[in-house]
Structure formats: structure tokens, C-alpha cells
Structure 1
Amino acid sequence: MTTLAAARVDTGDTAWLLAATALVLLMTPGLALFYGGMVRTKSVLNMLMMSFVSIALVTVVWLAAGYSLAFGDDAFGGLIGTLDHAGMAGLGPDSVRGTVPTLLFATFQLTFAIITAALVTGAIADRAKFAAWLVFVPVWALLVYVPVAHWVWGPGGWILTELGALDFAGGLPVEIVSGASGLALCLVLGPRLGFKKDAMRPHNLPMVMLGAGLLWFGWFGFNAGSALGANGLAAAAFLNTLAAGSTGLLGWLFVEQRRDGHPTTLGAASGAVAGLVAITPSCGSVSLLGALAVGLAAGVVCSYAVGWKFRLNYDDSLDVVGVHLVGGVIGTLLIGVFAVEEMTGGPEGLLYGGGLTQLGRQLAAVVVVAVYAFGVTYGIGRLLDRTIGFRADEEHEHTGLDLTVHAETAYDHGVLGHGAPVSASVLPSAQKVKPQE
């Protein structure tokens, strides 16, 4: 590294962002366990694979063009960046962004793009073609995630510079985009076989709790890492993250106890995630009191929102809409209520004398991002469904995608435990019974 570049790099900030990047990447395997435990035994490996393959697909796309389009100099009225850094051109070890190496900043932002794609899988669990997912992710990352990331965080992005909406760590590009995209895809694919008729309970709640714990652990890198430095703002975001996750968990359990008479482990995990989702955009804008309120609101509202799919007849398998879309909307809007000047450096929320101005900006950003993500994702999904097919074959779905797609099973005792016997036509060749010679 040259002397000039070395002088601009803060080793403390760099060390913290290295750790935060690893934490955020860990969230995707954590999400895989969280989702994997929530599905039935016959498709758990497929659920894990959809998250893990997202790491590889998004990484390639991000390095090829995604980073440059999202964080390159603005090329078109705040809508998208340039391709000047396609293939990471010009971003060697001497390049610095702020007080950290540009390559580290780019990698940190990559981990956000990865988990956003992986989050969408929860809405289409048990019924999506794996091959179609491999095609969908690169196209979706470039057409949906990358533009929104530029709007919110990129140089000259219109939401940041023109609208003035605040989003510290990803309520818009991550939570609302994943939730709206998940809603679009579950409408494209239609409901699972037996939706609203068969019991579709989580097959492994300890796995769900482990996944939720890893998500919570990684979320500290997600939120506090977004300060891009080892400083007081990072510390405040860290504490706000812990506080909101806690009140989200308690709020969800309160609703379960009052409504159903039983606080559940699934409810505890879901409530913590709901609180963490809501604090993501607001952790760098609200005080500790505001963080407690944001988390509690998300825990209570999201616990009701997950039931909307039964009334409205959309099969959001693992509640991506009810938790991530709704939680993201709550957290983004409440910035306009609870934002404090000591955190934002200027804008204040309704309760702190800021009037309705900031709330209006937040609402406008939510509507535009949600509509854009839903519309473009629906178009991509419909195109793939009409060409290569996005919905798994009925026989494959009935048997389970683990065996029919990946030729594996998570549990030996679970292979034939769901419905009719397995047809020989869907068994991998190695498992077909050969006649005796």
C-alpha cells in the first residue's frame, strides 16, 4: 500500500469492518439453519442449498458488475452507478474508501446482497425448481437489489440525496426488497400442495433456534458494522440492536400467550428476528428508548401479520412477508417518529420536534422501493416460469425436493414418511432397485 493510502487507512476501523464482514456472511448459513428447521424433513436440504448457492451466485455477480453499479459514481440521475469498476477494475490494495480499504468495503456490502437473495427463499420453500433459482438470482440481483442499493447508499443515489430518507443498515435494500420480492414470487409459483389443508409444522425447532441465534450474532456486524468504523455510532447501533431484538421477542411471546395461551420457541425466534429486522434501518437514527419501542412494535405487529397469508390466500411459506416486509416497513417508518439529532446529525422525528417531514420522506421511500421490488421481481419470476418453469413438478414436490433434486436425504427415517410411496421415476438411479440377475 502506498504511503498516502496507508495514511488514510485507520487500522481500528479496518479491523472492526473485517470482523463485521465475517459476521454478516455468517448470517446466511444461520438463515439456512433457521429456514431449514422450519420446513418439513423432505425438503430441508433443498432449503439449505438455496441459501448456500446464493453466496456463490451473488458473489460472482457482485464482483463482475454489481458493486460498480451500486457504489460507482452516479451515471443516471441517482438511479444507477457506472461500470467503471466492473470486474473490480481500479480497486487494488491501494484504493481507500473513507478510512478502510475499498476492497473491504466492497466485500462488506457484498454480504448484504447475499443475505437479501437468501431471504427470498423462505417465501417459496418446498416448491421452487432449483435450476430456476440458479437463473433467477443473478438476474434479480442486478435488476432489483443493485439499483435499490444505489438509491439508498450509492454516491448520488436519489433516496439519499434528493428525497432525504434515512436507512442506516438496510431496511429498504434488504428487508423491504426481500419481503416484496418474496411476495411476488410466492404469487408467481402459487401455494404449496396442501396449503391450508395439511399440517406443515417445523420439523426441527432446535435447528430454528440455533439459526436464530446465529442470525442475532451476525446482526451485530450487520448494524454496528454499517458505521464503517470502530466508534461511538457503532456502539450505539450495537446496543440498539440488542435492545430491539429483545423487545421483539417479548412482544411476540406476549401476543402468543394472550391469543393462544402458549409462548412457543418458534414465536421466540420469530419475535427476535422481527425486532432485529425493524431496528436495521433505524439503529443509527434512534435513541435506546426508541430502539426498545421499535422492537416491541415489530414483535407485536409481525406476530399478527404472519397470519395474513391465510386470509389473503398467498402462501408465504416461512413468513418472509410477515416478518421482513412488515418489520422493514415498521422500522423504516418509525425513523420518522423516533429519530434524534444526536444520532442523525440533523433530522429529527415527530416525537422530537421534527414534525411530519421526515415521516413523509420515509413513507415515500417505502412505497417506491416496495412497488419497484415487487413489480420487477414478479416480471422476472413470470418470465422464468413461462420459459424454463419455476414451479417444481407436482410429483417432485409431493415426494420432497431433497431426494428428487439433490439425491440426498437429511434423515434416513424421513425419506418415505410423507404421503404416498416414492415413485421409481423420481428416485436417483443409485437408489432404484435393480432386478436380480
Structure 2
Amino acid sequence: MTPEELEAFKAAFEMHQAMNVEVFYWWCTAIMFMIHAGFLAYEIGASRVKNALASGMKNILTLAVVVPTFYFFGWWIYNAFPGGLIPIDASGALPWSTSMGPDVTDMGTGIFWAAFAMFGATTGSILSGAVIERIRMSAYLILTIVVGSGVWILAGAWGWHPDGWLLLDLGYHDVGASGVVHAVAGFFALGVLINLGPRIGKFVNGKAMAIVPHNLPMALIGLMMIIVGFFGFLGGCIIFNGGDTGWTTIYGNPTNLSAFAFNTLMGFSGGVIGAYLASREPFMTMSGGLAGIITVAAGLDVYYPGLTFFLAVVGGITMPMVGKFVEKCGIDDAVGAVAVHGWCGFLGVVLVGIFAAGYPSVPEGAPDITFFGQLLGAVIMCVTGFIPGYAISLLLKKMGMLRVPPKVEAAGLDLVEIPAIPYPERVPSRDIVEGTIPADAAGLPANGVLGS
């Protein structure tokens, strides 16, 4: 082989390596769409019939508003704020830069932007389930843009970016986004729920009433679809490098898909078993699969799978307990998002500090993983989510924009916001369910339909 032929062969090989990177993240992004199909299905199922389509439309619109806003400013935030709240030059991430459009010489920016945009949409969907059946669509979309294209990616800049201050100062380790996605979104949802208030009839004389899903099988199928989507989500958290480097975590330390496969499946199984032991309830048991994966996600690259299973069992057992505690505080989290994502995300980051303390960080000069660094990092993630969630929802509440009026809530959001009927061939279910206020108290006629 002549030197010219060798050089041509090398160039072709490098081109195919770059194309393989693109293909990998292309399919990770496609699989992540299953997360949102799952959220749509399980939130429709978890709602009462009168709110089913409104819950579904929120999930469709989540993707529609996060994708463009993440393009116009979310990706810039990630690149501009690794050092804190003072931006650095990130002109290459501005929407009018060359890299933010078709460019045959750039085979990375678009696919990484797409994967991160899907992470952002996931934070919005986490919020969506918690607030079903009483939030205004407009308020929800405002809050979704804030968390999906602003808050979580700021946390990502701090804890994921190669120059992120949490990484360089604390040795923060969170390869599967337990903190930067789940803890942030879960505590953002908590801040919103405090101002949003419970659904009508959820608490009677201080006692929590059950407002049951209208289609539990659909909710369970939706949760299983989210698990499928998680394989795309976690695949997007691993770096497919060309050349001799191979797979690394987002921090640059060596890993591979086998490590993620071992620990993702063990996390799912442990979470389901733990939640079943703690609750015996189908929805909580299936939610335990999410709880287990989130509990171990931060350390997918370093955990022994046997340890992963037991840590996930702990996450699955404690998740329903935290959910009940949140409910006892008078907070109506309709799907347990605060417990599943907020608590388990926080727990996942802290557990790395317990079981992987001393593991070296790859960026030169970054400290090793420590318990203190992980604990402080987890607290920062929770606070970063909670403060804007609480503050912006409080502002919307003061402006009368956060929650639908009581008569609309009692009649059902579908009648007001969605010009369609979910099950037109079925006998209509009662608009006012047992345990909620009677129709006359809500200013409605007996059939619960406005304008009758």
C-alpha cells in the first residue's frame, strides 16, 4: 500500500468513526422519544376521565416548547455558565453561529444538542405528572420552558461540563444525571406544588383522600415505556469517542455500555422489588423501576452490580415513604414525582459519595470523589431546582395565572382547554367523583357541564 493509499484509508476510517458517533446519538435521541410517549400514556391513565386529554396535551406540548427554546438559549447556557452565574464566552453555541446549523465539517454539535434537548424535555414531563388536573396550560408551559431550557441545563453546566465548578472544586460525580436532571426537576416540581395547592377534594379535614387513576393499566404501560426510553437517556449520558479512546463517561473516565447494562437492569429490578415490599400497590411498584434506576444512575460506571441491586432496593423502599411524607405535609403530588425523581435523585448522588469515595476524577486538578462533595453537590442540585420553581410559580399565582378556577377544575379541564372527548362511545363518568366537592358547591349544574 502506497503512502497515498494509506492516507486515504486513514481518512476514510476516521470519517466512518465520526459517522458512527453520529449514528449512536441519533438513535439514543429517537429512543428517548419513548420516554415522552410513556409520560403521555401514564399521565392520561393517572388522570380522571374529565382531565385525560388535557394531561396528554401537556406532554405533547412539552416537547414542542422545549426543543426550540433549548435551541435559542438552552445550549448557550450550558456552554456559558460552567463557572457559576457569570457567563464566559460561548459564541459558538449561539443560535446564529455556524455550528448551530447544517455543517458537513461538524459531526457532533447537532446530535449532542438533540440529546440534551431531550434531557430538558424530560424535566418538563417530570413536572407535568405532579401538577395534573388543576394547572393552567399556559402556566405549565412557562414553567416547563424555565426548567427544561434554563434551570436543569444551568445545573448541568455546573455538574457535567468539563469545566463545571462542581466537578473541578468538589469532584462531583453524576454520570447518569441523578442530580442534574432528576433531583433538579423533582425539587422544581415541589416548589411549584407548594404554590399550586392540592386538587379539590384531595384533603378532607386534613386527611388525604384517594383520587384514583381512571385507567391504571394504561398508567402501568406508560411507566414501562419510560423504562424503555431510559436506555436512550442513559446511552446519551455516555460518550462515544472515535479513535483509540473508546467509551468514556461525560467526565472522561473510561467506561462502556456493558457497565451501564449491568447496573441499569439491576437498578430497575431492585427498585421494583423495594417498592413492592414497601407498598404492594401496582402504580408504586412500577414507579419503583424508575426510582431504582435513578437511585443508582449517578454511579453506573463504578458500582458492582450486586451493590447496585441493594442500593436500588433501598431507593424503591424509601420512595413510597417519602411520597407519603410529602402527602402528610398537605402537598398533592399526583404521581409521586417529588419522591421518585427528587428524593431518589438526591439519594443517588449522595450514595456515590458513600460507596465510591476516593475514586479519582479524570479532569486534571479535580479532587477525588468524597462524601462531602457529593452531599454538597446533591443539596445544590435540589436548591437550584426548588428556588426558581417556587419563585416563578408564586409570581404566577399572584397574577392569577397558575391555577384554573374551581368550577373549571370540578367540571374537568378537557371541557375548557381541549375541544375533544377521550372516550366518546362510553357512558360518561361522573364529573364530580366521590370525595370531592359536590357540583352545586362548585357552581355547576348536576351534570357538571359548564353552560348547560
Q: Is the 8 A contact 1:68 1:81 kept in 2?
A: no
1:315 to 320, 328, 332: 332
1:177 aligns with 2:184: yes
1:250 corresponds to: 273
Aligned length: 411
Q: Is the 8 A contact 1:208 1:266 kept in 2?
A: yes
Q: Is the 8 A contact 1:409 1:415 kept in 2?
A: no
Q: Is the 8 A contact 1:248 1:300 kept in 2?
A: yes
Equivalent position amino acid for 1:44 in 2: A
**Per-residue deviation, 1:81:** 5.5
Is the helix fraction higher in 1 or 2? 1
SS in 2 for 1:10: helix
Q: Is the 8 A contact 2:147 2:188 kept in 1?
A: no
1:110 corresponds to: 117
Change (3 A) 1:393 1:116: same
1:48 aligns with 2:56: yes
Equivalent position amino acid for 2:324 in 1: G
Identify which range, 359-368 or 407-416, moves more after superposition.
Answer: 407-416
Q: Is the 8 A contact 2:268 2:312 kept in 1?
A: yes
2:135 corresponds to: 128
Q: Deviations over 1:47-71 (max 9, x none)?
A: 111111110111010111111211x
1:358 corresponds to: 370
Q: Deviations over 1:10-42 (max 9, x none)?
A: 333332222111111220121121222112111
1:383 aligns with 2:406: no
Q: Deviations over 1:94-144 (max 9, x none)?
A: 454xxx522111111110001111111122111100122223322344441
1:418 corresponds to: 431
State the TM-score, normalized to the length of structure 1.
0.86
**Per-residue deviation, 1:416:** 5.0
Change (3 A) 1:346 1:339: farther
1:66 to 74, 98, 102: 74
Q: Is the 8 A contact 1:117 1:178 kept in 2?
A: yes
1:398 corresponds to: 410
Q: Equivalents in 2 of 1:203, 1:305: separation in Å? A: 24
Q: Equivalents in 1 of 2:313, 2:399: separation in Å? A: 44
Change (3 A) 1:107 1:143: closer
Q: Equivalents in 2 of 1:223, 1:415: separation in Å? A: 41
Equivalent position amino acid for 1:366 in 2: A
Unmatched 5+ residue regions in structure 2? Answer: 1-10, 241-245, 248-254, 433-438
Change (3 A) 1:236 1:342: farther
SS in 1 for 2:201: coil
1:156 to 163, 176, 183: 163
1:372 corresponds to: 384
Change (3 A) 1:79 1:272: farther
Identify which range, 391-400 or 303-312, moves more after superposition.
Answer: 303-312
State the TM-score, normalized to the length of structure 2.
0.83
Q: Is the 8 A contact 1:253 1:264 kept in 2?
A: yes
SS in 2 for 1:228: strand
Q: Equivalents in 2 of 1:159, 1:5: separation in Å? A: 37
SS in 2 for 1:282: coil
Q: Deviations over 1:150-169 (max 9, x none)?
A: 11122422112222110102
Matches within 5 A, 1:329-348: 329-339=346-356
Change (3 A) 1:293 1:391: same
Identity %: 23
Unmatched 5+ residue regions in structure 1? Answer: 257-262, 348-353
